[in-house]
Amino acid sequence: MAKPALLVTRKLPPAVEARAARDYAATLNADDQHWATDGAEIIRRATALGAAGILCAAGDRLDAACIAALPGSVKAIATFSVGFEHVDLAAAKARGIVVANTPDVLSFATAEIAFTLMLMAARRAGEGERILRAGQWMGWAPTQLMGVTLEGKRLGILGMGRIGRELAGMARGFRMEVHYRNNRRLPPELEAGAIYHETEAGFLSSVDVLSMHIPGGAATRHWLNAARIAQLPRGAIVVNTGRGGTVDDLALIAALRSGHLRAAGLDVYDGEPRVNPGYLELENVALLPHLGSGAIEARDAMGFRALDNLDAVLRHGREAPHRIA
């Protein structure tokens, strides 16, 4: 029996590519060229291959126009991500194309990056490294780069899903008090002593560190705006490892410049890979290049989960275990 043809849009971890090549007639992207940002190019390549499946990634352009023009051979799209804003689910449903994502395998790794950014922002780690690399460090001084400790601080988690709960567990180890805001209150066993807030105002005014873990999209676009930032206590820290579009960059930059916010730590950006140049002018913001799931273990697990979804549909004729459309 011939192996199903699979179009892979990005270079993936070696173990993932090896499995894809073993089980599929896979066309890989060895040089990690970013052609999949062009929907027409996805259509062209899928048509040329007679692809049965597409293994895509965040940032690919699988919008309604692209999906509508995919060849009839395409039966499944698996995205190498939890987020799926780059795939038009309604268009896929209309075509009968299964879409699946990779939940549950990157929560701890992403929470680690959130905590890394919290520490970097609170303890001014980025500033310190830049001084050292520039050859400007003159030795220890009693008042040099004084930050704040996280011990005893109130951590506010916006979105207490899997990543938020992993972060809460880490924060308890640092003796932080955990507060959260969610679309609904968690049961006690998941809440684990965290303090739930029914109102935004009560939540924002009660925390020293805000860590954002909410989905993107029109409903949450620029959720953190000037009005909500003003409700945070002076000297608060903001961390975002969720979706870049949930932050109003101009409002956050203004609050960092004015001193209303002590610092920020960002791993995601509105319109990435573009970064608002205002952030680059500030010392009190720690910036990482979307490293949330960037651990070998997490990325392998993501790839295997994507292939599990494709295997179910294309090789075994079953329901994809993590189907979203």
Into which CATH architecture does domain 107-287 fall?
3-Layer(aba) Sandwich (3.40)
Q: What pLDDT, on a 0 to 100 scale, did the predictor assign at position 78?
A: 98
Mean pLDDT along residues 179-187: 97
- Give residue 181's pLDDT band: very low, low, confident or very high (50, 70, 90): very high
Give catalytic residue positions: 243, 272, 290
- What is the DSSP annotation of 252-263? HHHHHHHTSEEE
* Amino acid at position 175, single letter: R
Q: State whether residue 79 is helix, strand or coil.
A: strand
Mean pLDDT along residues 34-45: 98
In percent, the amount of the chain with pLDDT more than 70 equals: 100
Radius of gyration over every alpha carbon of the chain, rounded to an integer in angstroms: 22
Residue-wise pLDDT for 190-202, tens only, equals: 999 999 999 999 9
285: left (phi over 0), alpha (psi -120 to 50) or beta: beta
Residue with tokens 């960092």: 256
CB 42 within 8 A of CB 36: yes
**Every domain of the chain and the residues it spans:** 5-105+296-315, 107-287
How long is the chain? Answer: 325
CB 82 within 8 A of CB 47: no
| 5-105+296-315 and 107-287 share one fold | yes
In percent, the amount of the chain with pLDDT more than 90 equals: 99
CATH number of 5-105+296-315: 3.40.50.720
CB contact burial 252-266 (16+ within 10 A = b; e otherwise): bbebbeeebbbbbbb
Q: What pLDDT, on a 0 to 100 scale, did the predictor assign at position 25?
A: 98
Q: Is the pLDDT of residue 298 over 90?
A: yes
Residue-wise pLDDT for 95-138, tens only, equals: 999 999 999 999 999 999 999 999 999 999 999 999 999 999 99
Q: Is the pLDDT of residue 1 over 90?
A: no
Residue-wise pLDDT for 265-294, tens only, equals: 999 999 999 999 999 999 999 999 999 999
Residue-wise pLDDT for 136-149, tens only, equals: 999 999 999 999 99
Write down the pTM of the prediction.
0.94
Residue-wise pLDDT for 46-95, tens only, equals: 999 999 999 999 999 999 999 999 999 999 999 999 999 999 999 999 99
Q: State whether residue 150 is helix, strand or coil.
A: coil
Q: What pLDDT, on a 0 to 100 scale, did the predictor assign at position 26?
A: 98
Q: What pLDDT, on a 0 to 100 scale, did the predictor assign at position 22?
A: 98
